[in-house]
Amino acid sequence: MIDLHMHILPEMDDGARDMEMALAMARQAVDCGTAVIAATPHKNIPGMIDYKWGDRYRMQMNELRKCIAKEHLPLTLIEGMEIFMTEDVPEKLNDGELICLGNTRTPLIEFAFHTEGNVMARSLERLCREGYVPMLAHPERYMCVMEDPQLVFEWYQMGVIIQMNKGSILGRFGNRVRKTAAQLLRHRLIAVVASDAHGAFVRTPDMTELEYALDGEYGPNCFELLLEINPARILEGKKVIWDDPVPFSSFF
Ligand SMILES: [Fe+2]
């Protein structure tokens, strides 16, 4: 499996609190069959200015890679960040101040949970116009999507890659998020599922429960498509594979 959204780098954000926890997360990921992790700490949150962030990011990546090699864990760490969307994100990506996943043109983008749908659409459209293929983190957790899941269909049509969180499918963010997640999956609007893991005890990298939850409900190849095939295609710069979305005129 390939997990494209994980807060595994220690002491960077509200994810792994130290190297020991980061390693525990790495072991959990390997135990459930994950071979590649994108280390995606929060970045660009307004008010959080840290001029040494880039240095610290590289240092923690190197340290964690060394520890993983020392334990002989069959795990590859790739670079990334979960970018909080602001007006200047396209410029910051163009300048290299913000980075995409691996060597791709795909930035992982998040919004404030109360952002309006038309504001999200405008920002995502702008990134697409600038030649990026944004991956939107956990739409099922945004207020506007819970109220109107059809918004995701518009973003899908724009070419945005839609990434859902493991915890949303399993009901870890409450019933409303779980129901929204199920709607989006039924309508075939999800290209990728990732752990968005923040630790080794809650919101973990363990994906074992998901195979049954996805394949049992949404078809026999759903798990493989969303956790292996599409994440691999993204890292290769290829288009993700979508099942034909179920139109919202037959919304259920
Ligand atoms: Fe995240």
Q: Distance from the CA of 157 to the center of ligand 1, in angstroms?
A: 24
Domain hosting residue 67, numbered range: 2-250
CA 3 to centroid of ligand 1, rounded, Å: 12
3-class secondary-structure state, position 118: helix
pLDDT band at 146 (very low <50, low <70, confident <90, very high): very high
228 CA → ligand 1 middle, Å: 19
100 — pLDDT class (breaks 50, 70, 90):
very high
**Ligand 1 center to 82 CA (angstroms):** 6
Q: What angle (nearest 5°) sits at the alpha carbon of residue 76, between those of residues 71 and 81?
A: 120
Rounded CA-CA distance 142/138 in Å is 8
Supply 110's token pair. 């998040």
Question: What is the pLDDT, as a whole number, of residue 250?
Answer: 53
Å from CA of 218 to ligand 1 middle: 24
pLDDT digits (tens, 9 = 90+) for 15-48: 999 999 999 999 999 999 999 999 999 999 998 8
Tell me the DSSP string of 191-237. -EEE--B--SSSS-S--TTHHHHHHHHH-TTHHHIIIIIHHHHHHTT
CA distance 252 to 250: 6
Give 250 Cα–ligand 1 centroid separation in angstroms: 32
Tens of pLDDT along 107-142?
999 999 999 999 999 999 999 999 999 999 999 999
245: DSSP letter: P
- In three-state secondary structure terms, 238 is coil
Count of CB atoms within 10 A of residue 58's CB?
11
How remote is the CA of residue 192 from the centroid of ligand 1, in Å?
14
For residue 220, the domain's CATH number is 3.20.20.140
Average pLDDT, the chain: 95
- Size of the chain in residues: 252
Cβ–Cβ under 8 Å, residues 3 and 163: no
Residues of the chain with pLDDT > 90: what percent?
Answer: 91
Per the structure, the count of domains in the chain is: 1
Centroid of ligand 1 to alpha carbon of 162 (angstroms) = 14
Per-residue pLDDT band for 49 (boundaries 50, 70, 90) equals: confident
Sheet hosting strand 36-39, strand order edge to edge: 2-6, 36-39, 76-79
Separation of CA 235 and ligand 1 centre (Å):
18
Instruction: Report d(CA 122, CA 8) in Å as an integer.
Output: 30
Residue 6 Cα to ligand 1 middle (Å)? 6
Q: pLDDT, tens digit, for every residue of 58-96? A: 999 999 999 999 999 999 999 999 999 999 999 999 999
